[in-house]
Amino acid sequence: MSLLQQQLAAGRFVVTAEIAPPKGIDTAAPLATARALRDVTAVNVTDNQGANMRMAPLAMAVLLLREGIEPILQLTCRDRNRLALQSDLLGAAALGIENLLLLSGDHPRFGDHPGARPVFDLDSVQLLQGVEELMAGRDLSGRPLCGVPRFFPGAAATPEAEPFELMFQKYSKKVAAGARFFQTQAVFDIPRFEIFMEEARPLKAPVLLGVLLLKNARMARFLNANIPGVRVPEPLIARLEVAADPRDEGVAIARELVACARRRCQGVHLMTLGCEERIPEILG
Amino acid sequence: MIISEQKSKEELLLALDGCERLFLVGCAACATACKSGGEEEVFRMQEWLTSLGREVTGSLIIEEACHIMRAGRDLRQHRLAVEEADLLLVLACGAGIQSVSSSTDKRVIGGLNSLFLGNIRRFGQYEEKCSLCGDCILNETAGICPVTNCAKGLLNGPCGGMEEGRCEADRDKECAWNEIYQRLKKQGRPGVFARTVPPKNWGKVLKPGRHRIKP
């Protein structure tokens, strides 16, 4: 059983963070980042994030395992059909990876290969079902597996999305399809997250609140304009604008979000984007 | 209708390099409606080619260029003009171009790019509504196709990129799943939301598609 699964089962407040594989084969920088994430339970490895081509997350996740760092392998439906997804999953299990974050994936239109053909042979709900099947010893065609993998599958949630009811029906489908934990998109609106948790709590899947460290007002505006599903409210942007040190203010905002998570959900997923040294303050 | 547009003049010039005499073919169906390969466009193409010093040996508008037998028959009626040409330039969709290319041993150049199976919003404005996926789900999705209208073709609800009911891939467009949700709500039925849709059977549209009406 993975450490992530054990800690969530034990009711511990869980902290995860993330790294991106390199564009190339020099893994020194992401490994250094991962080593700096000493206080976290597990580290997500992103899968061609934002549809920008990078090294395979499966390879990067194995490198983390070798360092004694527990990975959460992200897998999107954008670049692989059902054969490739299942074979990557079996490969991951054989190499000792248990934690998964199963995603639809950002559209290639805004990535660095905009001419790529998007796959989306499965969607994230169907991929979760596929993982359940593999764990039951069958593939998606119902054929038996020789050696059955064990996973701890997770999925993404977007608590601030509107219409709420439409977003939540997908969340419910993911729970029913076997999502054992959720990591949310970066959230900034605490009251909205609290409403989401009221609905999500009865479904009993642990939720890790996505906390993104804002560095300044310009970054907040960039996120609002360019990152799907992320919305920084104007009052927070105003705080960053008037702050003597915007980075300190960003840390203060992140601390408020972590405090909310401690009251409302089971952990946080930190996106510190190069400022990993501030994690102790954010969690403190 | 098959929506098509003319290739750029630059691309056409490259494709026509070294050829002196051409026979022009248009289509009276979709390419006429799209103003890409009707009577008028074939005439303009002829004027342009003539202005470049090329000789147009003749032209023909096939009633439906996708009709293989009809395309062959019409070309035979223009045999002499076709024989004189170095190649045939076809202003029809990819299907029409291949009706022509299968009816002659001459070189055939397509002058159009085929874009999609389209609905007509108003003249000159076309929208893709159906992807011809072979496994229709419209009866459950309030008559709105997620395979086509969702940029990712998702079958179990919106992706995480939906914002205020808009699409991640194109903020000017409403999220198809939001449209489905709103219309089903108006109709007071759960529709597709009542179940988890299993992986789609893409085996129903193996390429190349073939269909024969059973007697």
Mean pLDDT of the residues in chain B: 96
The minimal CB distance from B160 to the residues A140, A177, A185 is found for A185
Q: How many CB atoms lie within 10 A of CB A227?
A: 18
**Spatial distance between the Cα atoms of A273 and A19, rounded to a whole number of angstroms:** 9
Pairing of strands A71-76, A99-103: parallel
Condensed to tens digits (0 to 9), the pLDDT of residues A105-114 reads 999 998 999 9
Write down the domain spans for chain A. Answer: 3-212
Is A82's CB within 8 Å of B199's CB? yes
A165 contacts in chain B (CB < 8 Å)? 181
Q: Provide the pLDDT for residue A39.
A: 80
**Residue B8 sits in the same domain as residue B110:** yes
B197 contacts in chain A (CB < 8 Å)? 126
Q: Provide the pLDDT for residue B23.
A: 98
Is A173's CB within 8 Å of B157's CB? yes
DSSP string, A3-24: HHHHHHHTTPPEEEEEE---SS
**Residue B111 sits in the same domain as residue B61:** yes
**Residue keyed to tokens 């890790």:** A208
**Residue B152 sits in the same domain as residue B79:** no
- Looking at B115, B148, B167, which one is the last position of a domain? B115
Task: Give the residue among B92, B18, B33 at the shortest CA–CA distance from B61.
Answer: B92
**Residue B144 sits in the same domain as residue B87:** no
Domain-located, residue B122: no
Question: Nearest C-alpha of chain A: how many angstroms from B156?
Answer: 7
Looking at the complex, does the CB of residue B169 fall below 8 Å from at least one CB of chain A? yes
Within the 131-190 window of chain A, which residues sit less than 8 Å (CB to CB) from chain B? 140, 156-158, 161-163, 165-167, 169-170, 173, 176-177, 185
Q: Provide the pLDDT for residue A183.
A: 98
* Residue A229, pLDDT above cutoff 90: no
**Residue B55 sits in the same domain as residue B97:** yes
Q: Which residues fall within 8 angstroms of residue B56, CB to CB, at 6 or more apart?
A: B21, B22, B23, B24, B46, B49, B50
Assembly ipTM: 0.94
B163 contacts in chain A (CB < 8 Å)? 161-162, 228-229, 231
Indicate the number of domains in chain B. Answer: 2
Looking at the complex, does the CB of residue A50 fall below 8 Å from at least one CB of chain B? no
**Spatial distance between the Cα atoms of B72 and B77, rounded to a whole number of angstroms:** 9
**How many CB pairs (< 8 A) connect A and B?**
93
**Residue B27 sits in the same domain as residue B90:** yes
Domain-located, residue B215: no
Q: Provide the pLDDT for residue A117.
A: 96
Is A107's CB within 8 Å of B151's CB? yes
Q: Provide the pLDDT for residue A144.
A: 98
**Residue B37 sits in the same domain as residue B106:** yes
**Residue B13 sits in the same domain as residue B89:** yes
Q: How confident is the model at residue A38 (pLDDT cuts 50, 70, 90)?
A: confident
Specify which residues B109 forms β-bridges with: B89
Which CATH number goes with the domain that contains B55?
3.40.50.2300
**Spatial distance between the Cα atoms of B140 and B158, rounded to a whole number of angstroms:** 16
Question: Nearest C-alpha of chain B: how many angstroms from A261?
Answer: 21
Q: Provide the pLDDT for residue B25.
A: 98
Is B160's CB within 8 Å of A165's CB? no
Phi, psi angle pair for A245, to nearest 5°: -125, 105
Condensed to tens digits (0 to 9), the pLDDT of residues B22-67 reads 999 999 999 999 999 999 999 999 999 999 999 999 999 999 999 9
| Percent of chain B topping pLDDT 70 | 100
- The one-letter amino acid at A135: M
Enclosing H/E stretch for B15 = helix B9-15
* Residue A228, pLDDT above cutoff 90: no
Q: How confident is the model at residue A227 (pLDDT cuts 50, 70, 90)?
A: confident
Domain-located, residue B212: no
**A3-212: what fold?**
TIM Barrel (3.20.20)
Domain-located, residue B120: no
- Looking at B64, B84, B115, which one is the last position of a domain? B115
Tell me the pTM: 0.95
By three-state DSSP, how is residue A267 classified?
strand
* Residue B162, pLDDT above cutoff 90: yes
Question: Nearest C-alpha of chain B: how many angstroms from A125?
Answer: 7
Looking at the complex, does the CB of residue B183 fall below 8 Å from at least one CB of chain A? no
Condensed to tens digits (0 to 9), the pLDDT of residues A55-95 reads 999 999 999 999 999 999 999 999 999 999 999 999 999 99
| Percent of chain A topping pLDDT 90 | 95
| Reduced 3-state DSSP string for B45-87 | HHHHHHHCCCEEEEEEEECCCCCHHHHHHHHHHCHHHHHHCCE
Strand order in the sheet with B87-91: B55-62, B21-27, B87-91, B107-110
Q: How confident is the model at residue A284 (pLDDT cuts 50, 70, 90)?
A: confident
Condensed to tens digits (0 to 9), the pLDDT of residues A245-265 reads 999 999 999 999 999 999 999
Q: How confident is the model at residue A98 (pLDDT cuts 50, 70, 90)?
A: very high
Pairing of strands A181-186, A207-212: parallel
A118 contacts in chain B (CB < 8 Å)? 151-152
**Residue B171 sits in the same domain as residue B67:** no
Q: Provide the pLDDT for residue B106.
A: 96
* Residue A141, pLDDT above cutoff 90: yes
Q: Provide the pLDDT for residue A194.
A: 97
**Residue B148 sits in the same domain as residue B104:** no
**Residue B16 sits in the same domain as residue B107:** yes
Domain-located, residue B193: yes
**Residue B86 sits in the same domain as residue B188:** no
Looking at the complex, does the CB of residue B198 fall below 8 Å from at least one CB of chain A? yes
Q: Region B163-175: what's the mean pLDDT?
A: 93
Which range marks the domain in which residue B57 is found?
A: 2-115
- The one-letter amino acid at A126: Q
Condensed to tens digits (0 to 9), the pLDDT of residues B109-137 reads 999 999 999 999 998 999 999 999 999 99
* Residue A192, pLDDT above cutoff 90: yes
**Spatial distance between the Cα atoms of A75 and A103, rounded to a whole number of angstroms:** 6
Q: Provide the pLDDT for residue B123.
A: 87
The minimal CB distance from A166 to the residues B154, B168, B178 is found for B178
Q: Contact A186/A210 with Cβ under 8 angstroms?
A: yes
Query: Among A222-236, B3-17, B174-188, which is the least confidently predicted range?
Result: A222-236
Q: Which two tokens stand for residue A50?
A: 């934002």
Q: Which two tokens stand for residue A86?
A: 């299942």
